[in-house]
Chains A and B, each alone.
Chain A
Amino acid sequence: MLFELYESALKRRDEIIRMIKGNTDKIREAEDRWNEYEPKYKESRLVGVDSSFNYKSYKGFYLYALAGVAVTSDDRYYKEPIARLDFEKPKGNGNGISIRNLLLLRCMDVEYELIKDNRDSIGIDIDNILIDGSILARLYDRRFMRDRGKEIFLKYKSILRDDRRVIFVAKNSDSNTILGGNLADIYYFSRASTKAGYVYEYGSLDGEDITVAYVRLKPCTPVIKLEISGKKDDDEMKYIMDRLATESVSGYPYVLRLAHERCKIRDEDMDRIEDIFGLGIEEGSREVLEE
C-alpha cells in the first residue's frame, strides 16, 4: 500500500505543487488589497471564550465531556466555567448527526451561555469578547441546520445584533469569497506580505451585518480571520487591531490562548473520568483492532 501511495505522490507531484503555488496572480491581487498598518499600543480589557469536547467510544454508547470558559487576560474567569458530562447513544439521538457534530453544537451552546449576557460576570468593563473559531463556518454548515442547529443560529444572530463587542477569531479559514482563488483567501493574504495590516469585506448572517477581516497583528506573524458584528470602516478596523495587538503574543490574542489552555479536555482526563464511572472494563469500539 505504501508503495502505491509513494508512486501516486511522485506522479502527481508537479500538478499538486502547481495548484498550491502556481497562482501568482492571486498573490499579487492579495498584495494590492493588503492595507499595511502597524498597530499602536492601546490598553484594552479583553475576554477570551473557548470550549472543547472529548469522548470515548464504547460498544453501543459514547461517554463525552465538554467544557467552556470565558477568561480575562489576568487569567480570571469572566463567568463561571461550564462543564458537562453525559453519555450518548450513537443512533436515535434525535438529530441524525454524528457524535462529533452533535458535540460541536453543544459547545456552541455552551459558548453562547458564556457570552449571552453579563449579569453574572465578574463585573469588569470589557472592550471586546473574543470567541475562538469562525461563526460563519459553523453556522453555514448545513449539517447543523436541523432542529437544535436552528435554535443556535438564532441565538448567535441575536448576539451579533445586540452585542457589538463580540469578535469571532479564527486561526484558519476555508473561505475564498474575497479573491475567489483555487485556495482559501487566507493562503494568499498570508503570502502577500509579512507586514502587519488588514483586508476586510462585508458579509451578512441572515440579515445581520458582519465585517469579515483578515489581519496580521504583528509583522511576520500568522494572518488570522476576524468576524465582527456590524459594518466597520478603516478607522474602526485599526482601533480593533490596536486593542488586539496590545494583548497578543506572536500575533494571536493572549486571552484566547489562556481560554484554550483552561478548557481543553485531554485523553488522560477522559481516562480519569472513565475510572470514576468504572467503565475501564467496558469493551471499546476499536478493541478488535487492538488500538
Chain B
Amino acid sequence: MSSNDTKVLGFIVGESYPYKFTFVAYRPVSVGEYVTVEVKSDGKKRKILALVENSSIKSSILASVSNYHAASEGTRVAEKNERDKSYHAVTRVLGYIDELARGKVTIPSIPPAPGSSVYEASSDDLRVFTVDDYRWVRIGTLLRNSNVIVSVNIDRVASRHLALLSVTGGGKSNLLALIAKRVAEKNGTMLIFDYHGEYSNLQIKNINHVVARVNPRFLNDPDELADLLEVRENASVQRDVLARAFTDDVRGAEDFWGELRARIDNIRDAEEGKGSKRNPQVIRAAERLQSIIDTAERRLGSLFDTSTRNPLDMLRANRINVLDMVEFSERQANVAIAYYLEELLEDRKRAVRIKKSRESSDERIRFPTPVLCAIEEAHVFLPNSIDGYEDTRYIAGKIAREGRKFGLSLIIVSQRPRRLDPDVLSQMGSLAILRLTNPEDQRYINEASEIVSRELLEYLPSLNVGEAILVGQWVNIPSIVKIDEVKEKRVGEDISAVDEWDEAYRSTNVARESTDELIEID
C-alpha cells in the first residue's frame, strides 16, 4: 500500500444500494466504525457517511477444513498467505455528510459504485454527531472513537417518546439518570416511577424525591381500589361487594375508611335480612373485606393518604420528580402509575387548552410545560399479554398515541422487550438499546419497531455494560455509543451480602466484648 492511500480502508464489492453496501477491507473492521465514500451527485463529488453494521473475517483455507489436524495445518499455511483472509464489512448508508452536519438526513438516490474506495471517517467527518444546538445534550462518546461526543435531541424525546432496553445490569438506570440530569440542566420536568428505589440516592440539580401516595377517594374504578387493597383477582363476590360499597358518599366522607366499612356492614346486614333467600357468599365476602381493610390499614397505611387533595400536589414542575414506589406490590404500583398518568394527562390537556385559548382561567394547572414520564419495569406495567395488568397499559397506550399533542411523553425502561405491548413499543420514536442477549427480544424489537435494522440487532449481545445503540428521532444518525457515567448515582449496584454480614458480625462482637468488659469490672 502506498503512502498516498493509507486511509483507503477498502473497496465496495458485490451489489450496492442507495442505503447499504458491502466492502472488502485490508484489515478487520469493527462493528460501529464509520466510513465514508465519495459519490457523484448532480455532477458534484459528495461524501456519504456509512455505519459498519456487520463485519466478518473469512479464511479460504480454513473455511473448508473439517477436523483438528487439517485446521492446524491450514492455520500454519494460512499464516504465510496474506491473501488467505478476507475482511468483509456490511454498512448502512446514513446520508450525505454535509447535510447530516445540518441535521438533515438525505440518502443518495444512486448507490455508490462497486469498486469505489472506502475511507475511515475522519474526526472532521464525525463532527456530525456533536450537534451544537441548545436543544441537544451530550449523552456519551462514540464507542469506536472516544474523542467524538455524541449528542441527542431532548425535544424529540419530549415529543416522540423513548424506550431504554437492556438486560439487567446493562446500564439502563445509569442512562435514565443521565437523561434526568440533562433534563434538569434544561430546567425540564420529569417524573420517574421508581419501582425498585434505584434513584433514591440520585443527587442532581432540581431533584425532588417523593414517596408515592394514593388517595383512594380519587380512584375512578372500584377494581383499582380492590387492587390496591390486594383483593384477589378472582374473588369476584368480594370485588362486587366493594364496588357496591365504594359510593360517592364514601369518596366524600371525612372518615373514608370508617364510611367504607359502614357501607360494607350495611350490605352484609341487608343480605342477612333476606332470611332464607340470603346469599351466604355475600355475607362471607363482606366479612372478609372488613378483615382485608383492617390488614391494609395496618400494613399499607403509608401508601394511602386520604387527606391529599390530588396526587400531583407532591410533584413539582421544572423538577426531576423521583416517585419512590418501593413499598408497592406490582398490582398496587400498576394502579398507582395509572392514577398518576391519568392525572398528568388531564393536567396537560388543561394546560394546552388554556394556552391555546389565550384567556385567563381559574383552573389550576400544575404542569404548565411539557413533562417526561419514565416507567421502570415497563414489561410488567405495559405487558403484551391480555392477562397482564390493564390500568397502566391503557393510559400509557393513550399517552403514547396522543401525548405529543399535550406535551406529555413516555420513557419506557425494560429488560424484557418481548413482553412489552407491541403497540406502545411501536410508538416509541427513539430507542436506546443496550446489551440484549435473548434472540427473541431482538426479533421482537425488529418486528415492533422499524427503526432498527436486523444487522444492528445482531450486534446487541456484543455490547458491554454502558454501551448502547441509539436510533430514532433523538439522533440524526444511528450511533453506537459509550454512555457517560452519572457519578451522582450510586444505586443500581447489587447489595454485597458478604460485606453486610461481615460488618454486622464485627459490630455484634464489639458489643459483646464491651459488655464482657463491664461484667468483669462489676
Q: Which positions in A face B, CB cutoff 8 Å? A: 73-75, 218, 220, 247-250, 254, 257-258, 261
Q: Assuming the A-B contacts A249-B74, A250-B70, are A74 and B81 also in contact, with contact meaning beta carbons closer than 8 angstroms in the complex?
A: yes
Bound-state CA distance A250–B70 (Å) is 5
Of the residues B70, B73, B74, B80, contact of A74 by C-beta under 8 Å: B80
- Taking a contact as CB atoms under 8 Å apart, the answer to whether A75 and B61 are in contact is no
Contacts of B69 in A (CB 8 A): 218, 220, 250
**Residue B60 is within 8 A (CB to CB) of chain A in the complex:** yes
Q: Assuming the A-B contacts A249-B74, A250-B70, A261-B60, are A73 and B65 also in contact, with contact meaning beta carbons closer than 8 angstroms in the complex?
A: no
Tell me the minimal C-beta distance from A134 to chain B in angstroms.
24
Bound-state CA distance A254–B78 (Å) is 9
- Taking a contact as CB atoms under 8 Å apart, the answer to whether B84 and A75 are in contact is yes
Tell me the minimal C-beta distance from A261 to chain B in angstroms.
7
Additional 17 contacts, C-beta under 8 A, given A73-B77, A218-B73, A249-B70: A73-B80, A73-B81, A75-B81, A75-B82, A75-B83, A75-B84, A218-B69, A220-B69, A249-B61, A249-B65, A249-B73, A250-B69, A254-B61, A254-B77, A257-B61, A258-B81, A261-B60
8 A Cβ contacts from B59-113 to A: 60-61, 65, 67, 69-70, 73-74, 77, 80-84
Main secondary structure of the interface of B (DSSP, over half): loop
**What are 29 A-B residue pairs whose CB atoms fall within 8 Å in the complex?**
A73-B77, A73-B80, A73-B81, A74-B80, A74-B81, A74-B82, A74-B83, A75-B81, A75-B82, A75-B83, A75-B84, A218-B69, A218-B73, A220-B69, A247-B77, A248-B73, A249-B61, A249-B65, A249-B70, A249-B73, A249-B77, A250-B65, A250-B67, A250-B69, A250-B73, A254-B61, A254-B77, A257-B61, A261-B60
Tell me the minimal C-beta distance from A152 to chain B in angstroms.
32
Contacts of B83 in A (CB 8 A): 74-75
**B84 (CB) vs chain A CBs: closest residue:** A75
**B83 (CB) vs chain A CBs: closest residue:** A75
Q: How large is the interface on B (under 10, 10 to 19, 20 to 34, 35 or more residues)?
A: 10 to 19
Contacts of B60 in A (CB 8 A): 261
Bound-state CA distance A138–B405 (Å) is 83
8 A Cβ contacts from B505-522 to A: none
Tell me the minimal C-beta distance from B245 to chain A in angstroms.
80
Contacts of A248 in B (CB 8 A): 73
Bound-state CA distance A245–B82 (Å) is 21
Contacts of A218 in B (CB 8 A): 69, 73
Contacts of A250 in B (CB 8 A): 65, 67, 69-70, 73
**B66 (CB) vs chain A CBs: closest residue:** A250
**A220 (CB) vs chain B CBs: closest residue:** B69
**A41 (CB) vs chain B CBs: closest residue:** B76
Contacts of A258 in B (CB 8 A): 81
Bound-state CA distance A250–B82 (Å) is 20
Tell me the minimal C-beta distance from A128 to chain B in angstroms.
15
Q: Which 5 A-B pairs have the closest CB atoms?
A: A75-B83, A250-B70, A254-B77, A75-B81, A249-B73
Bound-state CA distance A73–B82 (Å) is 10
**A73 (CB) vs chain B CBs: closest residue:** B80
Contacts of A74 in B (CB 8 A): 80-83
**B60 (CB) vs chain A CBs: closest residue:** A261
Tell me the minimal C-beta distance from B13 to chain A in angstroms.
15
- Contact pattern, B 407-438, Cβ under 8 Å of A = 1, otherwise 0: 00000000000000000000000000000000
Bound-state CA distance A220–B81 (Å) is 26
Tell me the minimal C-beta distance from A3 to chain B in angstroms.
37
Contacts of A249 in B (CB 8 A): 61, 65, 70, 73-74, 77
Bound-state CA distance A248–B84 (Å) is 15
**A250 (CB) vs chain B CBs: closest residue:** B70
8 A Cβ contacts from B308-344 to A: none
Bound-state CA distance A105–B82 (Å) is 33
Bound-state CA distance A218–B72 (Å) is 13
